[in-house]
Structure 1
């Protein structure tokens, strides 16, 4: 940011640029400018009439941070919209010139308004929107309380606003620092001291204050009121009722809670949305860190290489101003990258506050200690127990996990509301699917509360309750109809961080691994519909390896079944078969025939994909027979689908149609997701029967079902089949359009579908122009199918497309060379080849 130099104010046309207050005025009204646009304007105005090169502008506004030139152009464009296009002339290839006559004016002399506001020792960064909001509210309310998390910058913001309000309060703006007080009775005396008045003998100090303030237009700033709330509330209420021209600006971690109070929550500083260096200094948190780091090391310069670490530090510290101030001194002894990595232990690292600061502002831990000690014992218990939640929680979850031992479930709402009021817990913008609010903590507060949980001796019990709660939530996925799944899956979307935290806790000890197996196995459908196959397999395999060797119960069997199902989606048919056979054997030993049927049905599908059609058909028939004994609709539908698939693969279309008709009837009774999956197979049958219109209709219904259910992989597969139909109809542009959308939605790790997508993609390439590329993709797919013993659903169709491409090239040797080259590709290389060709328009 450019340094301000005298004069600090300029006039040009109808505008006044005030460098001391960082404002641009037009006819007395403030003009909204982004901070970097203001800095660009400052440099141009200081050199009005002269060329300012782009290099100089970039250096003075962005320092050593590397940015694209178009960032500068965007700010110049924004200034032209405010000032008029002629105000800033472009000097072609060189830079810009400010064309308006900019006359320097003397800075306004110190206002006559009396005040005791201290002079700042460091620059004030950002907060333009908050300053404007607070000033506007102070014009219409007489009691405004700034609340927010400890260290978010309430005091500094209040002082800046108070300084800007001097002209509106001719009888004075007075700061009353309540931090040193321990006795509530001293609050009115602290106000009197700030006003430099004394009570006559025998008169109550509150009456003296009323007598002095009653006829005066005064703004009082009551700073750090959270530990004296009752006393401050009583005094504020009395003064405001009897002093008509008095206004109060209060800073506190909790509102006063009296009539007429307007509560303004001060947010943390803005943090970077990503690690891109060109927009990094738009973040207030980054600008503060860079500014304070330069006070520690005058030679400090942030480069483009530092952007990820800068962004990570500010995000991990939640944009809390004081935490960033405490982090800055560490740049004297470590790099930004090292500082970022050490923030896992932030309470040991951030300990170097100013010697003259309040004791609670000298370390990060003491900052939160101050808030914590103001809590009641039940509030402390809820805060530490809620720290097990990652990514937020609902009231229902808190009632199950944070209650007990001094906290009744019925008190949870009031206790959470109190923690929200004290800015230790915040409500999230999103709500739970049942309409209840979600709560969360800033990560810095959560780290602190987790330390308290460990110290309390409650951690194991609370974390185990957390796991049990999630098992109960995920249990709705176990064999339910689609309507239940459709309600539960969005709930699990919101709980992904909690699920990962719970599974990680279970992974920490072999004794807990069994509960982890139970939770992970219940999540298989969730991971499947969301396309997170790799994550699901990872959790299941690690927990299976960790669980005690003698664990042979239902939890292990369910985990083996889930791992087999997910590994099959990843295309490792041998591993899938091994896991599913082990699961089936264990169900046999446990005497659970209903679960046995489900594992047999999945095993039959694996065998069908490996072209072992006779074995697949026999196993599917056994699964179907058992499932019918129990009325297990989902397994009945699955077994019927495998029987249809086996018949379709062997070319027995009438039998396939019979099985599929039965499957579709069962699927519709289960719900739209099961129906969508069955319709994709029905579409394949229709393609074999040359009824492309029926195939397309089935796929369109299937696609809508997958989309409504949130099944990304299923939607991608339906689009892939729609591309096939368009391909067979000769509409290659439509096929490519569907393939583009399928590509964007195809989850990583969905191995079988990726192979089929590449097959379809190669057939949709325009020939002869892309016949060589098509040959390479086909060669890659063929090798990977051979390695995993997989087959193509429609080999005759695929062979026909390959022959068309070969003929279009009219060079068999070139086609064969491309094919062999493709056989050396990894699937990722084939995917990238496809991505580059998709980017080319039709």
Structure 2
């Protein structure tokens, strides 16, 4: 709504400029415009259009990793993720959308420069509050929606801001009409909010409980109050903050508490996670579910119902605001601790589920939690100083890193957990760390071998048949890579009866690795038989 001209202009730029940065203030509609442009030009790119959402990423080193993962590239220890990505893009014609670059601006600029230099048929759209400042970049500054002229009722209905506001109100109240009696109030709201789409949508969400006249009056009061505050912020930042302040003030106290606490989630989350992390004091888990629904209704949170299980997330601007409020009011450490505990407990079940769940179900359950696992481990090894949680979560999350192809990051995180492990840490936690570190280091047998030997030793001591079987199987593969075929065969032979207890997925991996051994030993017929058996088990 109201962006037809901008849509046409950006589409016209794409054939002429290989890097187009849609630039503007928070809440101005950069992401929405980029997504609509991408949807309308998808047929122009042989290898498709790809969206890299960077809003939940905090570590600049993860920018190239995130894009590589998006394109299905596994990390390799011999090359950096940027080098691997550039090599992959060389022969492809595609459009890459880098969304929310402002907090990772240097890393995004380096990646864009390297990728555009390596891939002559690559086009990039970036969204950011500032340009990437690269040679050849076309910055497209997205302005607020057009406003009605002061004291001119004739221009109210032509205003883009008014059109968007009315459309959003009608989504709440289907019978709402812009009558002559309402024109002044609606025009006043749009002018007060500077035509910023997010602010207008937040205002429209309140029309179920307040008239447009009441909304306009409250906004006016709020803005007069804010003019006595800081004069150093940009006016539009003040305006957006004022809209958020106003929306926050209208929430019930329980809603404010839940909104603040939800800000510890770096990306999307389930209602079960929200209940576990946010509940406490006078808000129980059932109340959290009700309040989450209210926050969705008030346009402060998004509910994604496209999958079997609904996932929720805060708009990035709203989350940044809620983080500040959480810091102001206190309680952030307790929320972060509950967040880390929840995902530690969840991933304690992951390894067993990985062996027993159907692949689609396992992936749908665990892969969306990548950002939460990263945040929990960062907190546990950082300000939280909960090394036991970091150790448990690092070892338990092993299948996550391998399935997503994040081998380099997985090694880094497991080694960080090992470096901080406490002397009295349970041997099971140590065994899992060594097993999955060895798995992640497959391509470097000299490093994988001692890790897997240590895992075998610990699992034998624990009398854990499945853990021992998996460790022996991975050690057998590494020995095959080292040319120690007889030892490899012995490891795999010992692993077989142990893995039979774990179900078809474990046997699938066993046959795949035995097929690998037969292949490197020069027995392709036997290798084929085992590979085909692995495929049959995978289909089961």
- 1:638 equivalent in alignment to 2:509: yes
2:382 to 501, 508, 516: 508
In 1, Cα distance between equivalents of 2:525 and 2:183: 90
- 1:399 equivalent in alignment to 2:350: no
The question of whether the paired residues in 2 share the 8 Å contact of 1:620 and 1:640 is answered with no
CA offset at residue 596 of structure 1? 1.5
CA offset at residue 617 of structure 1? 0.8
Q: Which residue of 2 aligns with 1:517?
A: 391
The question of whether the paired residues in 2 share the 8 Å contact of 1:174 and 1:220 is answered with yes
1:450 to 323, 331, 334: 323
In 1, Cα distance between equivalents of 2:535 and 2:508: 6
CA offset at residue 583 of structure 1? 1.4
CA 1:69/1:625 → structure 2, altered by over 3 Å: closer, same or farther? closer
CA 1:144/1:490 → structure 2, altered by over 3 Å: closer, same or farther? farther
In 1, Cα distance between equivalents of 2:538 and 2:478: 23
In 1, Cα distance between equivalents of 2:365 and 2:166: 41
Deviations 1:344-381 (A, max 9, x none): xxx9xx75259xx9xx9869877645443433221122
- 1:668 equivalent in alignment to 2:539: no
CA offset at residue 608 of structure 1? 0.4
The question of whether the paired residues in 1 share the 8 Å contact of 2:479 and 2:485 is answered with yes
- 1:647 equivalent in alignment to 2:526: no
Q: Following superposition of structure 1 onto structure 2, how do residues 69-468 of structure 1 map, counting pairs within 5 Å?
A: 129-133=160-164, 143=176, 169=180, 174-175=184-185, 252=203, 254-257=205-208, 352=232, 368-423=244-299, 425-428=300-303, 430-431=304-305, 433-443=307-317, 445-454=318-327, 458-468=331-341
CA 1:434/1:137 → structure 2, altered by over 3 Å: closer, same or farther? closer
CA offset at residue 384 of structure 1? 1.8
The question of whether the paired residues in 2 share the 8 Å contact of 1:481 and 1:671 is answered with no
CA 1:478/1:172 → structure 2, altered by over 3 Å: closer, same or farther? closer
CA 1:220/1:509 → structure 2, altered by over 3 Å: closer, same or farther? closer
CA offset at residue 549 of structure 1? 3.7
Q: Which residue of 1 aligns with 2:464?
A: 592
CA 1:432/1:491 → structure 2, altered by over 3 Å: closer, same or farther? farther
CA 1:389/1:514 → structure 2, altered by over 3 Å: closer, same or farther? same
CA 1:384/1:137 → structure 2, altered by over 3 Å: closer, same or farther? closer
The question of whether the paired residues in 2 share the 8 Å contact of 1:397 and 1:469 is answered with yes
CA 1:602/1:392 → structure 2, altered by over 3 Å: closer, same or farther? same
2:490 to 610, 615, 618: 618
- 1:627 equivalent in alignment to 2:470: no
Deviations 1:256-290 (A, max 9, x none): 326999xx9xxxxxxxxxxxxxxxxxxxxxxxxxx
Secondary structure of the 1:427 match is strand
CA 1:224/1:581 → structure 2, altered by over 3 Å: closer, same or farther? same
- What TM-score do you get using the length of structure 1 for normalisation? 0.39
Deviations 1:706-762 (A, max 9, x none): xxxxxxxxxxxxxxxxxxxxxxxxxxxxxxxxxxxxxxxxxxxxxxxxxxxxxxxxx
In 1, Cα distance between equivalents of 2:492 and 2:535: 17
In 1, Cα distance between equivalents of 2:469 and 2:174: 69
1:602 to 469, 474, 477: 474
Q: Who wins on radius of gyration, i.e. which is larger?
A: 1
Q: Following superposition of structure 1 onto structure 2, how do residues 693-708 of structure 1 map, counting pairs within 5 Å?
A: none
Secondary structure of the 1:465 match is helix
In 1, Cα distance between equivalents of 2:137 and 2:534: 61
Between 1 and 2, higher relative CO (CA 8 Å, sep ≥ 6) is seen in: 2
CA 1:574/1:252 → structure 2, altered by over 3 Å: closer, same or farther? same
Q: Which residue of 1 aligns with 2:404?
A: 530
CA 1:68/1:616 → structure 2, altered by over 3 Å: closer, same or farther? closer
In 2, Cα distance between equivalents of 1:531 and 1:584: 24
Deviations 1:752-804 (A, max 9, x none): xxxxxxxxxxxxxxxxxxxxxxxxxxxxxxxxxxxxxxxxxxxxxxxxxxxxx
- 1:578 equivalent in alignment to 2:458: no
CA offset at residue 435 of structure 1? 4.3
The question of whether the paired residues in 1 share the 8 Å contact of 2:260 and 2:323 is answered with yes
In 2, Cα distance between equivalents of 1:636 and 1:399: 37
In 2, Cα distance between equivalents of 1:67 and 1:618: 58
CA offset at residue 558 of structure 1? 0.4
